[in-house]
Structure 1
Amino acid sequence: MHLNYLMQLDYLLRLFLAVLCGSAIGYERNSRMKEAGIRTHFIVAIGSSLIMIVSKYGFQDQFGWLNMTLDPSRIAAQVVSGVGFLGAGIIFTHRQTVIGLTTAAGIWATAGIGLAIGSGLYAVGLAATAIIILGQILFHGKIKWLSSPKNEQLILQIIDEPGAAQSIQKIFEDQHINIISFKAAANKESAELIDLKILIRVYESYNISKLLFILQDNPIIKSLEF
C-alpha cells in the first residue's frame, strides 16, 4: 500500500512537469500573438501525460492469481482518437480567429481523467481535474501576459479629408494595438465619406470599450460598427 502511494506521487510529479512544459511552450506562442496559447498547450500537455500514465500503469492486473494478460494501450489509443473527432467538431473560425481550441483540448483532457478514475488512479484523476480548473481560472484572468490574443473587426465611415485615414491609424498605434489589415474604400452613398475596414488583434485582457469610446469621440468618424 505504501509503495502504491509513492508511485501515485510520482505520477503527480509527472503531471505537474507536463503542465510546466506545456505552459512554457504556450507562453512562447502567446507572446507571438498565436491563437493557440498558454491554455491550449497546458491542457494538451497534461492530457497527453495523463493518458500516457493511464495507458502504461492504470490497467496493470492487481489480482495476479487471475493470470490475465492485458493490452491497455489499445484502449487508451481508441479513446484518444475518438475524442479527437469530438473536439474537432467544436473548433471553428470567426473573424479570422480560431475559436474552440481550448474547449476541444479540455474535452480531450477530460477523457484522460475518465480513464484515470476508471482504472483506479483516483489521486491522479482528481489532481488533473483540479489543475485544469485552477489553470483555466488563472489563465482567464485579466492579466495581459496570461491572456490569449483575439481578432476584432471594425467598420468605420469617416469624413473624406486629407490625412483622415492616417489619423485613425494613429489612434490604434497610440493604444499599442496591432493592426492586421487596414482597408479604405470610397463610400457608395456619399462622396464625402470613406469606408474603413480595420482588423485588429488584441489581448482578451484589453478593454475594447475604451477604444470604442475614443473612436466615437472623434469628430471625423460618422459611424462605427463593431
Structure 2
Amino acid sequence: MFAASGSVWEISQAELAVRMVLAAALGGAIGIEREWNNHAAGFRTHILVCLGAATIMLMSIYGFSQFVNEPNVQVDPARLAAQVISGIGFLGAGAILRNGSGIKGLTTAASIWTVAAIGLCVGAGFLTAAFLCTFLVLVSLYVLNKWEKQLLRHRRTHKLEVTFSNDPEIVGRIAEVFIRRQMDISQLRIHPDESEEGAMKLEFKVKRIRFEKLLEAVGEVGRLEGIKAVETDGLDSPLAA
C-alpha cells in the first residue's frame, strides 16, 4: 500500500506509525465483538496482541537493516514472526475454561491467534490480507454465530441437578415430568449428596424444545414431594445454553 523509502529494508517513520495504528484498529474491531459478548479476552487484549505482533514483524523486517550488507550475515524476516505464531498459544490457553464436561473459550482463543496473524500481516505490509482476514473474522464471530444459534436452537441441552430424599420412586416422577412435555433426558446419573446425609442427587441433561416448557418442567419438579433442591446451568435468559 505504501512505498518503502530507499530500499526494501527501510521504512519511513510515517509508514511505521500508520501500520502500528492500523494493527491496533483491526485488532480492536475484533476485540469489540468479544467484549460485547463478555468473553475472557476482550477489546484491550485483542489490541495488544495485534499491535504486539505487528511491532515484532516490523522489527523482524526493518529492525536489523543495518546488518544486511555485513559479510556472513543472513537476514530472515520471518524468523521472529514464526515465534509469534507458536508463542501466542499461552494467551489462547488462558482464555479456555473447563466447566464440568463443557469447555468455554475456544472461539476466543482462536480469535487471539488470528489477531496475531493479522498483526503480522499489517507489520509486513500485507494489508489486503489483513483487511480481508479482519472482515471474515467479524463475519464468523457475529453473523455466523447468530446463524449457528438459530440452526441449533432445538439441539441445546440444559444440565439439571435435583437433590431429593432417598426414595427410588422420585426418579420416575421426575422423568415423567419431562417425558410428558416431550423433552429428552440423557446422561442420567444418581449418587449420594455429600452435603446432606440421607439425600441423593440426580444429575441429567435435558434437550430443550421451548424455553417456556423448560421453565414449567423445572417448576413442577421443584413442587414434587421429596424434592429438596433443583439446580440448573442457567435459566436467566432464553438464550442460555
Q: TM-score, normalised on structure 1?
A: 0.54
Distance in 2 of aligned mates of 1:209 and 1:187: 32
Q: 2: distance between equivalents of 1:134 and 1:70?
A: 37
User: Is residue 160–residue 206 contact of structure 2 (8 Å, CA) maintained in 1?
Assistant: no
Please show how residues 1-226 of structure 1 align to structure 2 within 5 Å. Answer: 70-141=75-146, 142-145=149-152, 153-158=159-164, 163-172=169-178, 174-177=182-185, 179-185=186-192, 195-200=200-205, 210-218=213-221, 219-220=223-224, 221-226=227-232
* C-alpha RMSD of matched pairs (Å): 4.0
SS at match of 2:161: strand
Decide whether aligned partners of structure 1 residues 108 and 122 sit closer, same or farther in structure 2, where only a CA change above 3 A counts: same
SS in structure 1 of the partner of residue 78 of structure 2? helix
Percent of paired sites with the same residue = 29
Amino acid at match of 2:121: A
Q: Tell me, yes or no, if the aligned pair for 1:88 and 1:104 is still in contact at 8 Å.
A: yes
Contact 2:165 2:200 in 1 (8 A): no
CA contact (8 A) 2:97 2:103 kept: yes
Distance 1:101 1:201 in 2: 24
| Deviation, structure 1 residue 214 | 1.2
SS of the counterpart of 2:95?
coil
Indicate conservation of the 8 Å contact 2:192/2:201, yes or no: yes
Q: In 1, Cα distance between the equivalents of 2:113 and 2:153?
A: 22
Do the aligned partners of residues 162 and 146 (structure 1) sit closer, same or farther apart at CA in structure 2, a change above 3 Å counting? closer
Query: How many residues are paired up?
Result: 159
Distance in 1 separating the partners of 2:141 and 2:203: 31
Write the letter of the residue equivalent to 1:175: M
The structure that has the greater radius of gyration is 2
- CA distance in structure 2 between the aligned counterparts of 1:224 and 1:153, rounded to whole angstroms: 11
The separation in 2 between residues aligned to 1:70 and 1:202, in whole angstroms, is 58
- TM-score for both structures, normalised by structure 2: 0.51
- Residues 225, 75 of structure 1: alpha-carbon distance in 2 compared, 3 angstrom cutoff: same
Residues 87 and 155 (structure 1), Cα distance of their counterparts in 2 relative to 1, 3 Å cut: same
Kept in 2: contact 1:139–1:146 (CA 8 A) = no
Structure 2 residue runs without a partner (length 5+): 2-56, 62-67, 233-241
Residue 182 of structure 1 aligns with an amino acid whose one-letter code is R
- Which amino acid in structure 2 is aligned with residue 135 of structure 1? S
